[in-house]
Structure formats: structure tokens, C-alpha cells
Amino acid sequence: MAEVEIPNVEELEELRTKAFTKRTALITAIFAVILAISALGGNKSSKEMLMSQQQSSDQWAFYQAKVIREHLYRNEKSRLEADLIERGDAMNSAARSHYQALLKKTGEEEARYNSEKKELEQEAKKLEHERDINRDKLPYFEYAEVILQISIVLASISILSSLRAIFYFSLIAALLGTLLTLNGYFLLSKIPFFMP
């Protein structure tokens, strides 16, 4: 009759612990990858927010310059109209036609600056909208990073202590961090308490 070897309980426990340790280490590495993706999204959102704010500020500065030029031409046009009215028929025809040509030119310039400022206003508002979107994304990435770091620490503790309960807490934390990261990229829902 063949001899059946009964496995040693201590060896089985050691193999089970090694399998748990390997699995947990692999999953912890996945947590770290998700953390890196979250940090990348946070950095990108932060940079995009700052760049959009700067570009928006530039557009508003150009807008203000156009408004000033428009007002200058409007004032010049008003002054020319007043001169034409004041001098009336006493003005010779050459001077009148010169004033009327200047009046027409200042009116055209005023209209040009008016239309240019409207384009600048639209561009500035578009950039402000981009800034606001990136500002809204940022807290999700920040909270995701913190929660993912906690999940990595919990997973490491579970490896050292061989406690599966701590590992399950790290899984829950990592899942929450992953959901926050996804929400940071896609803004699937807005959590009021995360809003600036």
C-alpha cells in the first residue's frame, strides 16, 4: 500500500501566507499605478487651470485696451460732430468734406474696435469656462491621491501583519480613490462638498 504523506499544518499556513503576501503586493502595485494616474490628472488640471486663468486675464486686458480705443474714437467722433454743428454753414466746402471724411473714419474705427472687443470677450469667457472646469476637477484628484496613499499604507500593513481585514479596508479605500480619479477626469458627478 502506498504511503500518504500528510502535509504539515505549519507549511500549509506558510504557503497560504506567501500567496496572500504575493497577491497583496501585486494589488498594492496596481494601487500605486492608479495613484500615479491620479497625480498626473491633478497636475494637468492644475496647470490647465492656471494657464486658462492667465490667458483669460490677457484677453480681458486686450478687451480693456479695445474699449479705451473705442471710447477715444467715440469722443473724437462726438467732437467732430460738434465742430460741424457749431461752424455750420460758415465752414468752406473743403473743410466740411475733410471733417466729414474724418467723421466717417472715426465712426468706422469705433465700430471696428466695438466688434473686436466682442470677439475678445467671447474668447475670455471661453477661457474662464475652461479654467472653471479644471478647477472643479482638481479636488477629486487631490482627495483620490490621499485615499490611494492610505490604501497603499493599509495594504503594506496587511502584508506585514497578515491580516486580511486590513487588506479589505485597503481595497475599499483604493476603490474609492479610483472612483474619485475617474470622476476627476470625466466629471461624471459633482460632489457639493468638493466644490470650491
pLDDT band at 15 (very low <50, low <70, confident <90, very high): low
pLDDT of 118 over the 70 cut: yes
Output the CA–CA distances (angstroms, integers) from residue 94 to 79, 80, 98, in the order listed: 18, 15, 6
pLDDT band at 195 (very low <50, low <70, confident <90, very high): confident
Nearest to 121 by CA among 67, 41, 183, 175: 67
| 106 neighbors 84 (Cβ within 8 angstroms) | no
pTM of the model: 0.81
- Going 113 to 114 to 120 to 121, the CA torsion angle's sign is positive
**139-159 pLDDT per residue, tens:** 999 999 999 999 999 999 999
Query: Which secondary-structure segment (H or E) carries 40?
Result: helix 9-87
**129-141 pLDDT per residue, tens:** 999 999 999 999 9
Q: Which three cell numbers stand for residue 26?
A: 501585486
Query: Which secondary-structure segment (H or E) carries 33?
Result: helix 9-87
pLDDT band at 90 (very low <50, low <70, confident <90, very high): confident
**172-185 pLDDT per residue, tens:** 999 999 999 999 99
Provide the H-helix boundaries in 88-163: 93-161
How far is residue 68's CA from residue 61's CA, in Å, rounded to a whole number?
11
Better-predicted residue by pLDDT, 191 or 68: 68
**51-80 pLDDT per residue, tens:** 999 999 999 999 999 999 999 999 999 999
Return the amino acid letter for 95: A
How far is residue 4's CA from residue 8's CA, in Å, rounded to a whole number?
12
